[in-house]
A and B are shown apart, each in its own frame.
Chain A
Amino acid sequence: QKEVEQNSGPLSVPEGAIASLNCTYSDRGSQSFFWYRQYSGKSPELIMFIYSNGDKEDGRFTAQLNKASQYVSLLIRDSQPSDSATYLCAVTYTGGFKTIFGAGTRLFVKA
């Protein structure tokens, strides 16, 4: 059973701080890793994807992947109240169509 685990939160950070969101996955055959943001009552919105070990930066967001530890994280720098949402980690497997989603971490950025 392939699994993706996330701390449900809520994670509360002050405005301007760095928010760190973590995700672990169970299958070493994992190929692609995604972070989605979902506001209450809305559909998931892709923030970042990462395929290779290391860091990938896009604006205030940095995704970090460590395949040896089966760990992927998302850092949000200079957090804003508008970043308050649920963040979903997702993993797909080599050759597969199936994407496994974590249950999500709720982030709350206090103004």
Chain B
Amino acid sequence: ETGVTQTPRHLVMGMTNKKSLKCEQHLGHNAMYWYKQSAKKPLELMFVYNFKEQTENNSVPSRFSPECPNSSHLFLHLHTLQPEDSALYLCASSSHDGTGAYEQYFGPGTRLTVT
């Protein structure tokens, strides 16, 4: 595997379900990101992890719960979602050297539909 991978690619879930999105990066980066992309809206940053430590939580509802067990893996745990949470969820990774983040590389995304 190369680059950034995400599973599943598509997910349909009911509002009472619990599911998890998985992301893995094979680029040796130390920072990982979750973004939400809804139709006709800019990319919304949700969470950032640097060396497994969460550095940004962009006022995301608690029904989204991130987990970063190491600098190569990132999860997004989902529970009791709402239909408006239906979107493309993108994972990205980058290097960060303390002065700033470098270019981010994105995974293919998970298309989530909440019914």
Which A positions have Cβ atoms within 8 angstroms of B? 31-32, 34, 36, 42-46, 49, 88, 90, 92-99, 101-104
User: Are A88 and B106 closer than 8 Å at their CB atoms?
Assistant: no
Assess A43 versus B108: contact at CB under 8 Å? Given A88-B43, A94-B100, A97-B96: yes
How many B residues have CB within 8 A of the partner chain? Answer: 26
Known pairs A32-B100, A101-B42, A101-B43; list 17 more (Cβ under 8 Å).
A32-B101, A32-B102, A42-B109, A43-B109, A88-B43, A90-B104, A93-B100, A94-B100, A95-B98, A97-B31, A97-B48, A97-B96, A97-B101, A98-B48, A99-B45, A99-B104, A102-B42
Q: Mark B1-44, 1 if CB is under 8 A from A, else 0.
A: 00000000000000000000000000000010100000001110
Count of A-B contacts judged by CB separation below 8 Å: 60
A-B pairs with beta carbons under 8 Å apart, 24 shown: A34-B103, A34-B104, A42-B108, A42-B109, A43-B108, A43-B109, A44-B106, A46-B103, A46-B104, A95-B98, A95-B100, A96-B100, A96-B101, A97-B31, A97-B33, A97-B48, A97-B50, A97-B55, A97-B56, A97-B96, A98-B58, A99-B33, A99-B45, A103-B41
